[in-house]
Amino acid sequence: MGWISDKISESGFGQGSSLIICVNILTGYTDTLYKMLAQLSGSSVSWWPYVLAVLGVFTIVTMWAVVVTESFRKIKLQYYGFKLASATREDSPITEVEPYLPFNINPAGMQPVLTTSYFLAFPSLIASVFGSRLWEHVRDILNPDTSRGADPWVYYMIYAFCVFIFNIIDIANVPKEIADYLNKMGARVPNIKPGKATVDFLTKIQASTRFWGGVLLSLLATTSVLLDRYLRSINEGFPIGFTSILIIVGSIIELRRSYQAYNVMPSLAKALQRYGL
């Protein structure tokens, strides 16, 4: 599976591991939906309101996930000694899009949700391997279903906080790299001096966008966990989870971006050949 995952990633069509997880989840959903419909059709109770309510909530969560994943803030760019063709003449029929720099509010996609799930499951893994009482106590505290567990609201606050932190963490110095790239291509942010001023400005923009992206993603992920818990309480063994929906949405959006970039490559190559580059 690792080899297949690496080959998918090398082909340029998204992250191989995420796509494999997405396919496994969708395969399980097919069997689950078939069994659920068979069970509901054999029941004497009207099940249409229940199904419509679940589908409605799934639709809202999916739309929310798309908004969180796709939203970004535009930062206008200005090139040295260069004007748009539409700006040279007032009667020019050419319409061009002004160049801008997009700052995604959630550049990591649904990765913070996966990282938080693994992080909160880590004490349980350590306790099962080493049998330490300390880690067993930590595991019980992080499980609101146990008698020694913390109150549910404490667990959900920890979960939301972890998702928020993992979303705003920036391992690479992205603003510095962007500022250097803008200088090389002869572009700058209007009314902002090149160099350190641009880096500081982009750092503030990135911090702001990631902050609000972290807030929206943590609310979305926590709401999904609450809905999963509620559905399993009224229907024991309910395998379809809203958290897995977030993973599916993130994987599909990433695959769509890769496909669009792949389709642009031939026309980009032709344009470069036309200008002798």
Q: Say which residue the tokens 């641009």 belong to.
A: 198
Q: Are 172 and 180 in contact (CB under 8 A)?
A: no
Which tokens sit at 155?
Answer: 């667990």
The residue ranges of the chain whose pLDDT is under 50 are 85-89, 91-95
For 120-159, how does the pLDDT look when each residue is reduced to its tens digit (9 = 90+)? Answer: 888 777 877 777 777 777 777 777 665 555 567 778 888 8
Which tokens sit at 113?
Answer: 């949700």
As a whole number, the mean pLDDT across the chain is 76
For 80-131, how does the pLDDT look when each residue is reduced to its tens digit (9 = 90+)? Answer: 755 554 444 454 444 455 778 888 888 877 788 888 888 888 877 787 777 7
Q: What is the DSSP letter of 104?
A: E
Q: Are 57 and 87 in contact (CB under 8 A)?
A: no
Is the full-model pTM beyond 0.85?
no
Domain over 2-9+16-259 is classified CATH 3.30.365.10: no
Rounded to an integer, what distance in angstroms lies between the CA atom of residue 256 and that of residue 129?
40
- pLDDT value of residue 261: 73
Rounded to an integer, what distance in angstroms lies between the CA atom of residue 219 and that of residue 67?
13
Q: Please report, for the chain, the start and end positions of each structural domain, with discontinuous segments joined by +.
A: 2-9+16-259
